[in-house]
């Protein structure tokens, strides 16, 4: 009897959580092709006109993805007051993160960004206490130390999101330092990409995994210019296969924890307006919030800083 009561309670909690979740998503979660209901005239055999419901795919943008922010994973402004901490350790080639800050701000995210060098471990720990997720954009030289790693691991183990970005050899020094410690894997290689890929499936391996929250509203995505390959690991699931059928991005989703490993950070500043990048970035951030774990608490600012939704750089 006690087990039945526990299961009933869990079911009620899940239902409440799903209902709350519906308040911040756009009702298209995990759908790559988005359809809307419209009405068409139909004349029956007696000459009487009837309105019938039909499902029509929404208007695509120039790359074939559903056009409009309403087809992102999260509604605009959903995460007002939530902060993403970015360790922006590669800033070459004009990579200034401004486009990403603007895209993330649409969903309410503020960005605290450390440029070229991370803070010391104590400061990182303090800043992370006020954040919902951490992004690490790796360079070719390791800048994180064991103290940083402990802070990052504790943060990740608490259920907060982690996005690890690398790129072609050798631009994955810190990415691999963290990925090997947390997930037992790394990224390697230098594969020429520079292609728009579709959805991965039975007919083709290259492309974005279908029906995942991160791929909501996406049928096509730019893979990046030169990219690294995520090494096979039972802890990870592929998210994007490159045009060479290599795993460009993979996700970790176990024990209430979420992370993304990505070997194509050139996607963030080269050909930003190419297929899907803006939506992908917004969807990834919304997924990493881990709303299903933290519930409505992530929709409320955890800092008294009135500028918490503004971009701050160090």
The pLDDT tens digits for 230-288 are 998 899 999 999 999 999 999 999 999 999 999 999 999 999 999 999 999 999 999 99
CA–CA separation, 108 and 206 (whole Å): 32
Q: Are strands 110-115 and 257-262 parallel, antiparallel or unpaired?
A: unpaired
pLDDT at 295: 67
Q: Is residue 81 over pLDDT 60?
A: yes
Q: How many domains does the chain have?
A: 1
pLDDT at 296: 60
pLDDT at 311: 54
Domain extent at residue 305: 69-313
Whole-number Cα distances in Å, 45 to 42, 48, 51, 162, 283: 10, 7, 14, 60, 48
Residue 136 domain flag: yes
pLDDT at 40: 67
Residue 44 domain flag: no
pLDDT at 92: 93
Average pLDDT of span 26-52: 77
Residue 3 domain flag: no
Indicate the DSSP class of residue 168.
S
Q: Which residue has the higher pLDDT, 92 or 302?
A: 92
As a whole-number percent, the residues of the chain with pLDDT over 90 amount to: 72
pLDDT at 298: 56
Residue 57 domain flag: no
pLDDT at 14: 37
Residue 75 domain flag: yes
DSSP secondary structure, 6-53, as one string: HHHHHHHHHHHHHHHHTTTB-S-TT-SS-EEEEEEEEE-TTS-EEEEE
Q: What is the pTM of this model?
A: 0.85
Say which CATH number the domain at 139 has.
Answer: 3.40.50.880
Query: If pLDDT is split at 50, 70 and 90, which confidence band does 306 have?
Result: very low
Average pLDDT of span 198-204: 89
pLDDT at 16: 35
pLDDT at 207: 95
């Amino acid at each position: 009897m006690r087990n039945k009561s526990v299961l009933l309670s869990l079911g009620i909690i899940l239902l409440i959580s799903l209902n709350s979740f519906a308040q911040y998503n756009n009702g298209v979660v995990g759908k790559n092709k988005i359809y809307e209901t419209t009405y068409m005239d139909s004349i029956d055999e007696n000459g009487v006109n009837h309105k019938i419901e039909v499902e029509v795919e929404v208007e695509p943008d120039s790359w074939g993805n559903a056009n409009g922010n309403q087809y992102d994973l999260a509604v605009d402004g959903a995460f007002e007051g939530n902060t993403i901490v970015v360790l922006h350790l590669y800033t070459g080639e004009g990579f200034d993160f401004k486009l990403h800050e603007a895209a993330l701000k649409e969903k309410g995210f503020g960005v605290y960004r450390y440029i070229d060098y991370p803070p010391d471990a104590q400061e990182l720990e303090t800043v992370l206490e006020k954040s919902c997720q951490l992004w690490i954009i790796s360079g070719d030289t390791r800048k994180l130390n064991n103290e940083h790693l402990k802070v990052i691991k504790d943060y990740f183990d608490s259920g907060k999101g982690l996005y690890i970005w690398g790129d072609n050899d050798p631009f994955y020094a810190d990415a691999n330092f963290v990925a090997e410690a947390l997930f037992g894997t790394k990224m390697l290689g230098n594969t020429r990409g520079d292609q728009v890929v579709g959805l991965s499936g039975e007919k083709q391996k290259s492309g974005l995994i279908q029906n995942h929250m991160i791929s909501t509203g996406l049928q096509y995505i730019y893979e990046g210019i030169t990219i690294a390959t995520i090494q096979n690991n039972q802890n990870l699931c592929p998210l994007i296969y490159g045009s060479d059928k290599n795993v460009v991005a993979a996700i970790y989703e176990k024990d209430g924890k979420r992370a993304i490993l990505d070997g194509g950070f050139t996607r963030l500043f080269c050909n930003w307006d190419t297929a899907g990048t803006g939506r992908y970035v917004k969807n990834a951030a919304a997924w990493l919030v881990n709303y299903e774990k933290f519930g409505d608490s992530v929709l409320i600012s955890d800092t008294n800083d009135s500028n918490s939704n503004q971009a701050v750089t160090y």
